[in-house]
Amino acid sequence: MISTGIIVEYNPFHNGHLHHIREARRLTGADCIIAVMSGYFMQRGEPALVSKWARAEMAVLCGADLVVELPYAFAVQQAESFGSGGIAILDALQCRNFCFGSESGDIEKFRRAVSVLLKNESVFNTYVRCGMKNGISYPQALANSLNKLGAGDVLDLSSPNNILGFHYMLAAAKQNTGMEAFTVARKSAQHHDEAFADETIASATAIRKTLMRDNDPASIRTVVPKQSYALLTRCLKETGTFHHWGIYWPFLRYRLISASHEELRNIYEVEEGIEYRLKKAAIAADDFESFMKKVKTKRYTWTRIQRMCTHILTNTTKDEMKRHAAKPEYIRLLAMNEKGRAYLHRIKKNVPVPVVSKFSASLGPLIELDSRAAQIYALPLTKNGRDNLLHREYSRPPLMVGEPLR
C-alpha cells in the first residue's frame, strides 16, 4: 500500500486543499493519504477557526484517509521546527512519499537549495541570525542568505509556502527518512491574498477574513467543498462563533497585565526585553488589533508576535519547549476512513512512538502542552460548547468518517 504524507493546517479546508490532495494522490500513485495537521493553534500564532475535530473530519470527507495531530510543541513554531515535527511523524508512520504545495512547483529547485544549504550550513545559519539581529524578517533573512551563497536564483525563499517546503525537504534530509518528495504549485490564490482569486479559489487568509466580517459560511460557499461548508455551518450553530484572537483578548490581556516581567521572560519566544513593550501595550489597548499595532515593529513581525501571544496565553515556558520540541514523542489519531484504519493496522507495530487513539493519562507530561491548549481554546465558549469540546478531547476515540469526496 503506497502512502503519501502531507503537512497541513486546514484553517479551514478549501478548494485549494482539495486540489493538493488530488494532485498528491495522482503524482505519487498513493493508496493512502496521511495528513499531519495542527491542533487548536496555528503556525502563525492564531487560534484555529474551528476545532481540530471538525477540520480533521473535513479532511477525510474531502480525500485524506488518515489525519493525525501535529503536537503544539511543533505546530506553533517557526517553519524549521514546524517542518521537522511534521516530517518526523510522517516518517514514523512509514510514509513512502511526502507532497507539499509551493509557489515554485518545481521539486528540483528545492533539492538544489537544500543541497547548497547542507554544504554551507554553518555559514547559512550565521547569515540568517545576523540578518534577523539587524531587524529584517525571518523570510527575508532566509532569502538574503541563499543569495549570499550564490543560489538566490534557485528558489525564492521569501514566499511562505516555498519556505515551508524548503524546511520539509531539509528536515527529511537531516532525518535521513528515505521519503521521496513531491510538490504541487499553488493554484491561483497566494498564501496571504486577502481577496478571492476567482469564483472557486481563495486563500485561507481571504476565507477567514470573509468569515470574520460576515459571520456566515454562505459568503465563502463557492471556494470550499460542500463538506467544509456543511461543517463550518454546523460549528457556527453549535458554538455561536468562529475562533479568532478577538474572543481571546480578555484572557491574553489579563495574563499580560497580571504576570510579572520575570514571568513573561520565562515564556517561549519572549526575548530581548519585549515583555516591557507587551505589558505597556496591553494596558493601553482596547482590543487585540490595536494591541498588535502598538507592539509590532520591523524587527517583530505580526506573525512572530502572535506566536509569542499564543505561548503567553497557554503559559508555555522555554523549559517546556526545550523538553518537548526535539522530536514528536507520540502520535494522536484524529480521524480516518476504512482505508486509513487498514493502513494503520498494517504498520502500527512498527511505529517507534506511542499511537494514541484516546487521551491517555499514562503519557503524563508528554501530552501536557496539548491538553492545556485544548482547555485554553475552549475558554471563550459557553458551558455547553466547552463541555462538548473537552468531552471530545478527553473521552472519545478518533472519528471514523464515511465515503470521501472524489
Point out the annotated binding site.
7-20, 101, 161, 186
Q: Cell numbers of 250, please?
A: 480578555
Residue 240's identity, in one-letter code, is G
Q: CA 103 to CA 190: how far, in whole Å? A: 8
Separation CA 276–CA 195 (nearest Å): 36
Using an 8 Å Cβ cutoff, are 18 and 225 in contact?
yes
Residues in the annotated binding site for ATP: 7-20, 101, 161, 186
Burial status of residue 100 (CB atoms within 10 A of its CB: 0-12, 13-18, 19 or more): buried
Question: Helix 302-313 and helix 288-295: axis angle, to 10°?
Answer: 120
Q: How far is CA 173 from CA 88, 176, 256, 352, in A?
A: 11, 5, 40, 19
Helix (H, G, I), strand (E, B) or coil at 34: strand
Cα angle, residue 406 at apex, residues 30 and 17 outer, rounded to 5°: 75
Q: What are phi and psi of 29, to 5 degrees?
A: 65, 30
